[in-house]
Structure 1
Amino acid sequence: MWKNRNVWIILTGEFVAGLGLWLGIIGNLEFMQEKVPSDFVKALILAGGLLAGVAIGPLAGRLTDQGSKKKIMLISSIVRALSVLFMFVAIETGSVLWMVVFLVFLQGSAAFYFPALQAAIPLIVKERELLALNGVHMNVSTLSRVIGTAIAGILLTLISLRDVYALSLVAYLLLAVATWFLKIDETTVPSAKKVDAKSSGGFKDVFPIIKSIPVIFMTLVMTLIPLLFIGGFNLLVINISELQDSTAIKGWIYTAEGIAFMVGAFLIKRIGEKFSVFSILFTFSFLIGIAQLMLYFADIPAVSIAAFVLFGFSVGCFFPTAVTIFQTRMPKDYHGRFFSFRNMLDRIVFQVVLLVTGFFLDLIGLQLMVVLFGISSTLMTAAFLVYTRKHKLHIETDEIERISS
């Protein structure tokens, strides 16, 4: 795998783009803290961009299955870079509306890029290498987040917000350059004519496949539980910072969670060799709920950091496993539409959780909210466990060995 130039190009591009993304995210939080006092309004602003990704999801899925995945990744990378121009206007005018326009274009381009990337990965490595590559890819993404947030925090004290976004623009342009050098053999994908015929129904063609493969359905539902935490992640960090009256805790939380995520993603291949995928999904889903409950003591720095460490490690193990199941069980000629559908579903749930988080933070406060979310996560996990046991939704032994080998 490490001799494959495409792997290095994707990982390098992901790292550079991740730096740009998190420079922008920290910039967004800084801009909103200055302009928007309400957590619920902050959530509404962030949700505005997510709506664009949801609306464009079906089109992104069809085009990914019909056309060149490299071209889609390249064009979406360029659009992502151009979207930063709207943020420059927002800074100059002090207008939150222009920030919403920026988020719409940013999320719209992401709606094309990520399904194409997930569909391209199985085409550049062997199936037995997928779990390892997914883990490494998520590690690189997390490393860029840790470094990006740290750099952004430092840069905001040294340079203007506009210059921070300028660096984000450069990173997105470098992603486009890296994508240009990809060489993907798409001859293994069904012919364009065949895919076109299957694409006429859009997501309607994917639903019967999901329904006919219970493991995919189970895993798709299980991925909603981490989103209950991830959806309001940035708002949680802001409120913990205010609760502890500490700006530094933001950096500690992002760093601790990021490192824990990388450790989990690094160890998942070894964990997958000893435990079934079924056990991995449910164990770490339950631990995510425990991490949420721990934040009831968010006023204590050590406990709040420990909660994010537990969450980061759990998600680092959970997501590479889930993505590998999707890539190996879903037929390749449906990858574009499936990953686009999953991306759209994630965005809808993310948006709902974001709005609910902002609403509850204003209504009942951080500590009561995380108890409510933690109980919900553990009860959902228990309910799904009972359901899957009742319907015997286990992955066969030979599939576990194939995925983890």
Structure 2
Amino acid sequence: MIGDGHRDINMELQQDVVKLQREVGFLELLKNNPTFRRLWMGLAISMMGEWFSTVALFVLIYTLTESELGIGLLFVIRMFSMAFPQIFTGMLADRFSRKRIMIWSNLLSAVAVLCLLIVDDESEVWLIYAISALLMALHAVFIPAESASIPNVTKENELLTANALNSATWSAALCLGASIGGFVVSAYGVEMAFIINAICFLIGGLMYSTITIPQEPFQPKPGGFWANTGGNIVEGFQIILSKPHVSRIVTAKALWAVFGGGLVYMLVLIGDEIAMGDLAAGIGILFAARGLGTGLGPIFARYVFKNRNLWPFLLGSLVSICGIAYVVIGFIEWSPWIAVIVVLGHASSAINWVLSTVLLQERSDDEWRGRLFSTDFLLMTTFNGLSTLAASLMLEYTEITLREGIQLFAFLQVLSGIVWVVLMLPKERRFMKNQESIGSNP
């Protein structure tokens, strides 16, 4: 009887181990983890509304300025407004309640987007840029708190699925929000898109208020205000730089952004051509394709790329694949059918995003994870903004055409992915070999 009892206990323990080792499915995660489910629902609703207003902003700027450079400037301001606050927002996510940070970011974003309703004249274009900057700054506060919270509300075997689902949801929101938002703007005007966005922000904030997010308590350091603010920021950079296995991966999203930012900007301009002058519909079509691709990519990765030893190689290779897609776009006739190629290209960039995010979450500690993700987004958004700025100035002040610009940026993106693999892969192999030797020692 005692032996049978021990066998039963051992069988139960083995079953628990198998469950922990097996990555859960999407529906299983949402069914069994109510905290993550509410976090995900708030995120999905907020992002859906955000893409409504993004399309509306592009249309409003172009309507008032009739300038492609005006759209480029909006891209640049949005990226830099999200980049520079990242220096501080990671420290906020590590020091203060991540739940409250997400709630207040949503509530203040709702107020900010409603302020866009007063803009109706070319002399008020500066207000569009200012409010857009504020919205992206609030988004910069939100992102590290949300990314750092996921490991706190999921188990080890839920982490990849949770990140893949979040990325797919961002993509679905982009796909639906951009496509529906484009037609809403065409039919009812930009004002309706802004109102819908504000409502979605409020609902998202309400969803976040219903969850509990465990978090390591902040331990104040001796030395007063500087030691606990600027000192924490400096310490975060020092930690990241002292861990090469982390600092390598933190460059993966920025690698795509170096030329991807300019390519997405030029994708907006292609949208004006394929929709026969209806900018809102054109942006809606191509951004919906981008969203569909970034949604399908993580789902594909969830079921196919289970061998983590391959992930570092894939990070650079996927950037090159995205570049190849845009090389094709640069040489074929532009019609709504290029949306198919956009889907394939951005599916690869989305897999890069998910795999790098999971690697960073697994290789970091909760104490400094917020600062890690703020650095991750700082690099990505800075290079995204610089890339967009370079592309917009190139088209405005040189003889390079839109098609030639896409070809140039796409070729360089293919090359950058290859260079990253050549430089980083040998170091990753040594790191993994060391990890295996450590794990094999008793």
On the 8 A contact 2:318/2:417 being kept in 1, the answer is: no
On the 8 A contact 1:50/1:347 being kept in 2, the answer is: yes
- In structure 2, relative to structure 1, the CA distance for the partners of 1:390 and 1:376 (3 Å cut) is same
- Of 238, 241, 252, which aligns to 1:211? 241
Partner of 2:131: 102
| Residue 157 (structure 1) shift | 3.1
Partner of 1:6: 35
* Residues 1:374 and 2:414 aligned together: no
- Of 279, 292, 309, which aligns to 2:326? 292
On the 8 A contact 1:39/1:235 being kept in 2, the answer is: no
On the 8 A contact 2:246/2:363 being kept in 1, the answer is: yes
Partner of 2:305: 272
| Residue 199 (structure 1) shift | 5.2
- Of 49, 56, 81, which aligns to 1:20? 49
Q: Which moved more, 1:285-294 or 1:249-258?
A: 249-258
Matches of 2:381 and 2:391, distance apart in 1: 15
> Residues 132-179 of structure 1: CA distance to partner in whole angstroms, max 9, x if unpaired?
100001111111111111221221233232122111111111111111
On the 8 A contact 1:198/1:205 being kept in 2, the answer is: no
Partner of 1:231: 261
Partner of 1:170: 199
| Residue 209 (structure 1) shift | 2.5
> Residues 32-75 of structure 1: CA distance to partner in whole angstroms, max 9, x if unpaired?
11112332232223323443333322322222111111111111
| Residue 194 (structure 1) shift | 6.0
The one-letter amino acid of 1:192's match is Q
Secondary structure of the corresponding residue to residue 185 of structure 1: coil
Partner of 2:338: 304
Matches of 1:254 and 1:35, distance apart in 2: 22
* Residues 1:221 and 2:251 aligned together: yes
Matches of 2:430 and 2:191, distance apart in 1: 51
- Of 251, 256, 276, which aligns to 2:289? 256
Secondary structure of the corresponding residue to residue 192 of structure 1: coil
> Residues 313-347 of structure 1: CA distance to partner in whole angstroms, max 9, x if unpaired?
10232111010011110221111111122222222
- In structure 2, relative to structure 1, the CA distance for the partners of 1:146 and 1:244 (3 Å cut) is closer
CA RMSD across the alignment: 2.5
The one-letter amino acid of 1:370's match is I
* Residues 1:193 and 2:220 aligned together: yes
- In structure 2, relative to structure 1, the CA distance for the partners of 1:6 and 1:313 (3 Å cut) is same
- In structure 2, relative to structure 1, the CA distance for the partners of 1:92 and 1:203 (3 Å cut) is same
Partner of 1:334: 368
Matches of 1:265 and 1:350, distance apart in 2: 21
TM-score, structure 2 as length reference: 0.83
| Residue 390 (structure 1) shift | 4.7
Partner of 2:389: 355
Partner of 1:135: 164
- In structure 2, relative to structure 1, the CA distance for the partners of 1:394 and 1:281 (3 Å cut) is farther
On the 8 A contact 1:60/1:337 being kept in 2, the answer is: yes
Q: Which runs of 5+ in 2 are unaligned?
A: 1-28, 437-442
TM-score, structure 1 as length reference: 0.90
Q: Which moved more, 1:51-60 or 1:134-143?
A: 51-60
> Residues 218-263 of structure 1: CA distance to partner in whole angstroms, max 9, x if unpaired?
2222222322454235532332134445345543322333222222
On the 8 A contact 2:52/2:193 being kept in 1, the answer is: yes
Matches of 1:389 and 1:43, distance apart in 2: 35
| Residue 83 (structure 1) shift | 0.8
On the 8 A contact 2:313/2:421 being kept in 1, the answer is: no
The one-letter amino acid of 1:24's match is S
The one-letter amino acid of 1:170's match is I
* Residues 1:202 and 2:229 aligned together: no
Matches of 1:59 and 1:71, distance apart in 2: 16
On the 8 A contact 2:42/2:208 being kept in 1, the answer is: yes
Identity rate of aligned residues, in percent?
Answer: 19
Q: Which moved more, 1:70-79 or 1:379-388?
A: 379-388
- In structure 2, relative to structure 1, the CA distance for the partners of 1:18 and 1:230 (3 Å cut) is farther
The one-letter amino acid of 2:382's match is I
Secondary structure of the corresponding residue to residue 95 of structure 1: helix
Mapping 1:78-97, distance limit 5 Å: 78-91=107-120, 95-97=124-126
Q: Which moved more, 1:310-319 or 1:35-44?
A: 35-44
Q: Which runs of 5+ in 1 are unaligned?
A: 401-405
Number of aligned residues:
398
Matches of 1:37 and 1:298, distance apart in 2: 27
Secondary structure of the corresponding residue to residue 212 of structure 2: coil
Matches of 2:430 and 2:332, distance apart in 1: 37
- In structure 2, relative to structure 1, the CA distance for the partners of 1:70 and 1:242 (3 Å cut) is closer
| Residue 87 (structure 1) shift | 0.8
Q: Which moved more, 1:199-208 or 1:278-287?
A: 199-208
Partner of 1:403: none
The one-letter amino acid of 2:89's match is A
The one-letter amino acid of 1:43's match is G
- In structure 2, relative to structure 1, the CA distance for the partners of 1:144 and 1:390 (3 Å cut) is closer
- In structure 2, relative to structure 1, the CA distance for the partners of 1:252 and 1:399 (3 Å cut) is farther
Secondary structure of the corresponding residue to residue 40 of structure 2: helix
Matches of 1:392 and 1:185, distance apart in 2: 32
Matches of 1:399 and 1:13, distance apart in 2: 37
- In structure 2, relative to structure 1, the CA distance for the partners of 1:386 and 1:237 (3 Å cut) is closer
Mapping 1:31-70, distance limit 5 Å: 31-70=60-99
Secondary structure of the corresponding residue to residue 273 of structure 1: coil
On the 8 A contact 2:102/2:142 being kept in 1, the answer is: yes
